[in-house]
A and B are shown apart, each in its own frame.
Chain A
Amino acid sequence: MKVRLKVWRQPGPNAAGGFETYDTPELNPNMSFLEMLDVVNDELTRRGNAPIAFAHDCREGICGTCGLTVNGRPHGPGQGTATCQLYMRNFEDGATITIEPFRARPFPVLQDLIVDRAAFDRIMQKGGFVSVRTGAPQDANALPVAKPAAELAMDAAQCIGCGACVAACKNASAMLFVSAKVSHLGLLPQGQPERYRRVAAMVRAMDGEGFGNCTVTGSCEAVCPKNINLAFIARLNRDYAVALLKGE
Chain B
Amino acid sequence: MKLDAKIPSGPLEQKWTRHIAESRLVAPNNKRKYRVLVVGTGLAGASAAASLSELGYQVTALCFHDTARRAHSIAAQGGINAAKNYQNDGDSVWRLFYDTIKGGDFRAREANVHRLAEVSTRIIDQCVAQGVPFAREYGGLLANRSFGGAQVSRTFYARGQTGQQLLLGAYSALMKQVGAGAVRLLANTEMLDLVVVDGRAQGIVTRDLNTGKIERLAADAVVLATGGYGNVFNLSTYARGSNATAIWRAHRRGAGFANPCFTQIHPTCIPVSGDYQSKLTLMSESLRNDGRCWVPARAGDKRRPREIPEAERDYYLERMYPAFGNLAPRDIASRAAKRVCDEGRGVGESGLGVYLDFSDSINRLGLDAIKERYGNLFDIYHEITAENAYETPMRIFPAVHYTMGGLWVDYNLMATIPGLFVLGEANFSDHGANRLGASALMQGLADGYFVLPNTIGNYLATLKPGACPAPDGPEFLAVEAGVTAKLKRLLEVKGQRTITDFHKRLGRVLWEHCGMARNRRGLEEAIKLIPALRQEFWEDVRVPGDAGNLNQSLERAGRVADFLELAELMCRDALAREESCGCHFREEYEEEGECKRRDAEFAHAAVWEWQGEEQAPTRHTEPLAYESVKMTTRSYK
Contacts and interface: CB of A to CB of B under 8 A. Distances in A.
Contact of B239 (A57, A114, A154, A157): A57
Given A39-B276, A81-B383, A161 B67 contact: yes
A128 B170 CA distance: 12
Contact of A57 (B51, B241, B380): B241
Interface in A19-54: 27-28, 30-32, 34-35, 38-39, 42, 45-46, 48-51, 53
B240 A144 contact: no
Contacts of B86: 141
B498 A45 contact: yes
Interface string A141-157: 10111110010011001
A103 interface: no
B281 A130 contact: no
Interface string B531-557: 000000000001011000110110000
Contacts of B552: 51, 53
Nearest to A185: B131
B50 interface: yes
Interface residues of B, number: 78
B616 to A, nearest CB: 34
A57 B65 contact: yes
A132 B129 contact: yes
A186 to B, nearest CB: 10
B72 to A, nearest CB: 7
Contact of B187 (A110, A118, A141): A118
B179 interface: yes
Given A140-B84, A157-B168, A184-B131, A129 B74 contact: no
A126 interface: yes
A190 B126 CA distance: 11
Interface stretch (B136-144, B247-255, B416-424): B136-144
A170 interface: no
Contact of B550 (A114, A127, A135): A114
B175 interface: yes
B278 A87 contact: no
A203 interface: no
A66 B141 CA distance: 36
A191 B128 CA distance: 11
Contacts of A154: 133, 135, 158-159, 165
A64 B69 contact: yes
B75 A147 contact: no
A16 interface: no
Nearest to B76: A62
Interface string A169-211: 0000000000000001100101100000000000000000000
Contact of B128 (A128, A129, A190): A190
B464 to A, nearest CB: 27
B124 interface: yes
A34 to B, nearest CB: 7
A21 to B, nearest CB: 20
Interface of B: 47, 50-51, 54, 65-70, 72, 74-75, 84, 86, 122, 124-131, 133-142, 158-159, 161, 164-165, 168, 171-173, 175-176, 178-179, 185, 187, 210, 239-241, 273-274, 276-279, 281, 380, 383-384, 386, 449-450, 453, 496, 498, 500-501, 542, 544-545, 549-550, 552-553
Given A140-B134, A150-B133, A190-B128, 12 more contacts: A28-B273, A30-B273, A35-B276, A46-B542, A64-B74, A110-B210, A118-B187, A137-B129, A141-B141, A144-B136, A153-B131, A154-B159
Interface of A: 11-12, 27-28, 30-32, 34-35, 38-39, 42, 45-46, 48-51, 53, 55-65, 81, 85, 87, 89, 110-111, 114, 116-118, 120-121, 124-141, 143-147, 150, 153-154, 157-158, 160-161, 184-185, 188, 190-191
